[in-house]
A and B are shown apart, each in its own frame.
Chain A
Amino acid sequence: MKEILKKPEENSGRWWEERLGWRAIMKFLREKKVPQTEHTPWLYTGSLILLFLIIQVITGIVLALYYKPTIAEAYASVRRIMSEVPFGWIIRSLHFWSATGMIATVFVHMISIWLLKSYRSPRELTWMTGVFLLVITLGFGFTGYLLPWDSLSLAATKVGTDIPRVIPLIGQWISQFLRGGEDVGADTLTRFYLFHICVLPLFIFLFIAVHLFLIQKHGISFPLKYEIKGIKVNVIPFWPDFVLRECRIWLIALGGVITLAIFWPRSLGQPAEILAPTPPGIKPEWYFLFLFQTLKIFPAQILFLKGESVAISLILLVLGLFFFLPFIDNKPAGKKGKVISIISLILIIYALAMTFWSLAE
C-alpha cells in the first residue's frame, strides 16, 4: 500500500534504478576526481571532440537522406541540398564547420597530451587508441572531401590516392583498393561514401568506447611536474563540478559553429569531370597541408632513391614512432624524456611552419 501511495516520480526513479542502476553510475561520477591546475583547460578538448562528433552524426544523417553516391547524381544531389532542401545549405555548412572544429580539436587534444606526457604508464593504451582516433578522424576528412564530386575534390582525391603508390610492396595495392580500380571514378565515390558513413563510424565508435573505458579505468592523469615535485594537486568531482564547467565550453562551441555555418557557408565548385584536366595549384584541406608541403619540398631524387618514396617512408616512420611514443618515452622525468620533449616541440613547430608556408604560397 505504501508503495502505491508514493509520489509517481519516486516510483519512476525506482523503476529506472532497478533496470539501469544509475545511482551506482552517479556515485561513480561523483567520486571520480579531476585535477584542477593551470593545465585543466586542455581537459575540455576531449569532450569538445564528442560535441563536434554528435553534430557530425546529426547533420550527416540529414545530408544522407538527400545525397546520392553516384557520379551521375552526387553533384546534383549536393546542389539540391543547398538550393531546394529547406535550410539544407546551413546543414551542409554545419557539417563542414563541425568537421573542421573536430579535426582542429583532435589536434589540440593530441598535442596537449603529447606535451604534458599524459601517455605515461599506465596510460599507454589510452594514447594508442587516441592515435587510432586521430587517423580515423583524418580518414573522415579525406573521404568526405570527395563526396560533393566537384572539380577540386576530384583533383585532391586523385593526388591523395596516388601518394600511397610509392610505398614499397603494398603501395600499389592500397591505391587500387582506395580507388576501386586504376583511376578515380564511380567505384571510388561508392567506396569513399561507404567508408565515410559505415566503416569509419563503426571504428570511431569502437575506439571511442575503448578510449573512454580506459580513461575511466585509469582516471585523468595529473601533470608530470606535480608528480615529480610531490605537490598536492587540487581536485574537483567530475559530477557536477567538472561537467558544469565543460557545459560552458559546449555552449560557446555550439553557438560558434552555427554562426560560422550561417556567415561563412560552404560553397560548391564546378562539377567534376573524370577526364578533365587537373586544376593548377590545387591544395588539400588545411589539416593535410603540412604533409603536402613536406612532399613538395623533397627533391625528386635523393641519392639513388625517389624523393617521394623517402618522404612517405619518413612520414610513416614518424607516425610509427608517434604510435609507440609511451614505450619510447618510458622515463618521462629523466634526460631521455627531456630530449623527447624538445624533439616533440620541434616537430610541432615544423608542422605549423609547413602549414603556414603552404597557405602563404
Chain B
Amino acid sequence: MTWVKKKRKKVLNLLLKALVWLPLFPLIFVFPQKLSSMELYFEKKFELNVLFRMVHNQEKVKLNVENREDQNDETRELKMVWPEESQEEAQPEIIFRPKFKNIKEEIGVYVFLGWLWLIIAVLLYVLNQQIKEADRRRHLGL
C-alpha cells in the first residue's frame, strides 16, 4: 500500500515538473530552424502563382537580361522583375467600404442610435427598479 502511495507521489511530482516546463515548450519554435510546414505551403503556392501568371500572361513579366561586358551568353544573368503595379496588387485591398447614401440617411441613422441608447438607459433604470422590488419581495418572503 505504501509502495503504491509512493509511486503515486512520484508520478504526481513528475507531472508537476512537466507542468512547470510545458509553458517553455513553444520557445523551441522561436529559434531559427528549417521552414515550417505552413511556410512551405505558402512558398509552394507562390511558385504556382508565378507559373500561373507566366502561362496566362496576365501580368507582363519582364525578363531583364543584363548584358554585362564580362559575361558571355551562357553566364548572362537573368532577372525576373515584377511590374510595380502588380506588387501593389499583392496586398489585398478593400475596394468596397459601405457608406451612407446621403446626409439624410446619415442623420437618420445617428438619430436612431441616440434614440436607441436613450431607450436602453430608460429600460435599464426600469429594470433596476424591478430588480430592487423583486429582491424586496423575496426578502419579505412574499
Give A residues with C-beta under 8 Å from B.
79, 82-83, 87, 89-90, 92-93, 151-152, 159, 162, 236-237, 240-241, 244-245, 247-248, 251-252, 254-255, 258-259, 262, 265-270, 275-282, 292, 295-301, 306-308, 311, 335, 339, 342-343, 346, 349-350, 353
Contact = CB atoms under 8 A, between A and B. Distances in A.
Interface in B104-142: 109, 113, 116-117, 120, 123-124, 127-128, 130-131, 134-135, 138
Contacts of B99: 89
Contact of B120 (A251, A275, A350): A251
Given A245-B131, A258-B116, A278-B49, A301 B92 contact: no
Contact of B123 (A251, A267, A307, A311): A251
A295 B91 contact: no
B138 A236 contact: yes
A247 B98 contact: no
Given A267-B98, A268-B94, A277-B53, A244 B36 contact: no
Main secondary structure on B side of the interface with A? helix
Contacts of B63: none
B37 A295 contact: yes
B127 A244 contact: yes
A300 B36 contact: yes
Contacts of B33: 299
Contact of B37 (A79, A248, A299): A299
Interface centre among B48, B91, B95, B124 (most CB of A within 10 A): B95
Interface residues of B, number: 49
B131 A262 contact: no
Nearest to A279: B92
B3 interface: no
Interface centre among A259, A295, A297 (most CB of B within 10 A): A297
B87 to A, nearest CB: 11
A345 B53 CA distance: 48
A275 B127 contact: no
